[in-house]
């Protein structure tokens, strides 16, 4: 039981990456709860996910509304594209105590995800990357397996790829207008075997963070390394 004099830990709000949903955090939510954290995984709007604007501005506005409804301090954790969302949404939010970027886009104002990912080599086979259809980007099962799910079991890959949804191109091309990490302490967790967002690109952005950690995983450690990731997230929340 927590001492009455012990400072309450921030609520950990988890923000998923592009093409995914709140379900992506399912393996780590119970582990984080067991570690003593209060956890909330949010779901951004999008085709097959929920109503609202599907671009960065819409996602940031949604997250700000979620923050306004929470009591007490909050730590925001963004995975991949979710990093751009927390960068934009947390600016000026009085209850955000810290930020965690998990192989994520820690953007400067005026920079887009596409800009920050310029250091990541394109797949040699174009079929292993996203494809555009109108205003939306789609990821095939083969592309998702290559980009997102290194180190995952075949069962995990099949379950995850069956739940992916299209992502609006505005999530990739829209620049951040505000950069909350200038005022809020941040931790960057580098995924050393990621091919979707290369370690080189991650480390360039991690240099902007207050502190840095590393995990020897591909893009989705919540699936491939849930206990190791839980330990890193718990440490980052307590650091705040």
Residues annotated catalytic, as ranges: 80
Neighbours of 125 (CB within 10 A): 10
Q: 144 with 131: CB under 8 angstroms?
A: no
Dihedral in degrees, nearest 10, Cα atoms 91, 97, 101, 102: -140
Pure H helices in the chain: 29-34, 56-68, 82-89, 113-116, 141-148, 154-161, 170-173, 199-206, 221-224, 226-239
Cα of 235 vs its chain's centroid, Å = 17
């Amino acid at each position: 039981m927590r001492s009455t004099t012990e400072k309450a830990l921030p609520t950990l709000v988890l923000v998923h990456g592009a093409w995914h949903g709140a379900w992506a955090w399912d393996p780590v939510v119970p582990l984080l709860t067991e570690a003593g954290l209060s956890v909330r995984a949010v779901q951004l709007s999008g085709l097959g996910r929920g109503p609202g604007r599907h671009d960065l501005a819409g996602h940031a506005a949604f997250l700000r509304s979620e923050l306004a409804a929470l009591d007490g301090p909050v730590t925001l954790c963004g995975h991949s594209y979710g990093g751009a969302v927390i960068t934009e949404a947390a600016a000026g939010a009085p209850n955000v105590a810290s930020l965690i970027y998990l192989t994520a886009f820690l953007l400067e104002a005026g920079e887009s995800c596409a800009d920050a990912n310029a250091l990541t080599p394109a797949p040699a086979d174009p079929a292993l990357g996203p494809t555009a259809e109108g205003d939306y980007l789609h990821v095939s099962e083969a592309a998702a397996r290559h980009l997102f799910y290194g180190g995952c079991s075949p069962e995990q890959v099949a379950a995850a790829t069956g739940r992916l949804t299209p992502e609006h191109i505005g999530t990739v091309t829209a620049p951040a207008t505000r950069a909350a990490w200038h005022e809020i302490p941040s931790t960057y967790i580098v995924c050393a075997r990621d091919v979707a967002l290369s370690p080189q690109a991650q480390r360039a952005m991690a240099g902007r963070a207050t502190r840095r950690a590393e995990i020897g995983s591909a893009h989705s450690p919540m699936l491939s390394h849930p206990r190791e990731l839980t330990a890193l997230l718990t440490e980052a929340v307590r650091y705040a």
